[in-house]
């Protein structure tokens, strides 16, 4: 099992609008690819003073092939739509982890 994790820190002043959009648009678009087997949204509770809110979006894949297909065919397009709406109001980093 593989876990693709995207962590976003979003400006507080647009937090509610952003989270609503992520739930209504981003997550359904990822799920529609039928590549991740499950998805979660988690909020970081041990927030450091960075002026924003931090969330992690977790996508679970059974096989590396599924993740690679997502990476090559969908990820950039999904994040481009996000960036068009929220450019300059967030930072993100992503990681790929393997269950051992």
Which pTM value belongs to this model?
0.88
Q: How many domains does the chain have?
A: 1
Distance CA 28, CA 34 (A): 10
Lookup: tokens for 76: 């950039």
User: What is the CATH number for 49?
Assistant: 3.30.70.100
pLDDT tens digit string along 15-51?
Answer: 999 999 999 999 999 999 999 999 999 999 886 676 7
Range of the domain at 51: 2-98
CB 3 within 8 A of CB 59: yes
pLDDT tens digit string along 46-100?
Answer: 866 767 899 999 999 999 999 999 999 999 999 999 999 999 999 999 999 999 9
């Amino acid at each position: 099992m593989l876990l693709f994790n995207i962590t976003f820190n979003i400006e507080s002043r647009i937090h509610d609008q952003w989270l609503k959009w992520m739930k209504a648009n981003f997550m359904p678009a990822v799920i529609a690819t039928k590549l991740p087997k499950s998805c979660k949204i988690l909020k970081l509770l041990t927030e450091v003073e960075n002026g924003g809110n931090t969330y992690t979006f977790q996508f679970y894949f059974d096989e590396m092939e599924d993740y690679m297909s997502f990476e090559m065919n969908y990820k950039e397009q999904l994040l481009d739509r996000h960036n068009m709406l929220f450019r300059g109001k967030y930072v993100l980093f992503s990681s790929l982890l393997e269950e051992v």
